[in-house]
Each structure stands twice: as structure tokens, then as C-alpha cells.
Amino acid sequence: MTPADTTDPRPVDVVYCGGCNPEIDRGAIAREIEPAGGDKTVLLSGCARACASDHQLVDETAGIIVAGRLVDGVPTAPADIPAAIARRLEE
């Protein structure tokens, strides 16, 4: 084990939309993915209007974009969204 491994990973940065029309439970998703850590930001919008990512569905430079049932533009069932985010965090 290296010294770096002894510290908890930095929680994932999550940017939320305002939450006026959520199709998914943003808080629950954030709680599930935050401990994973990583350098990427998760732009977490409740619906496909994608307010957290300035209305973009895909932007690799900005981070991982969740817009309702879309993860980086790919239709994803709500229950599968944390796993889909985790896969992208590992990429």
C-alpha cells in the first residue's frame, strides 16, 4: 500500500441543476457516486433539459453529463445511472 492509498479519495465533484423537473433522484445518485472519487466532474441534471451542463448532453471536456435518463447522451435506466457514472469515472 502506498501512502496515497491510505487517504480517502477526494469525493467526486457534483454540479446540480436547480431541480424543478427531476426524472431521477439526484441526491441519491450523488450519495452513491461521491465516495468513488476521481478527477472528473459529474454534471447532474434531473431531466433532459440539462441545465447543470448548460444544456449540453455530451461534453467530454466538461465532465460526465447526466440529464435525466441520459448519461453522456446514452439512454440509461435510473437504477443503472450510478453504475454508468462509475464506469466513466474509471475510464
Does 44 sit near another protein (CB under 8 A)? no
Euclidean distance between CA atoms 71 and 85, whole angstroms: 7
Residue 84 φ/ψ region, left for φ over 0, alpha for ψ in the -120 to 50 degree band, beta for the rest: alpha
User: What is the DSSP code (8-state) at residue 10?
Assistant: P
In this chain, which stretch among 1-9, 35-43, 44-52, 81-89 interacts with another protein, using CB under 8 A? 44-52
Does 28 sit near another protein (CB under 8 A)? no
Does 62 sit near another protein (CB under 8 A)? no
Does 86 sit near another protein (CB under 8 A)? no
Binding residue for another protein, selected from 44, 66, 67, 84, defined by CB under 8 A: 67
Does 48 sit near another protein (CB under 8 A)? yes
Closest C-alpha among 42, 59, 51 to residue 23: 51
3-state secondary structure at position 23: coil
* Bridge partner list, 16: 44
Binding site for another protein (CB under 8 A): 21-23, 47-50, 55-59, 67, 73
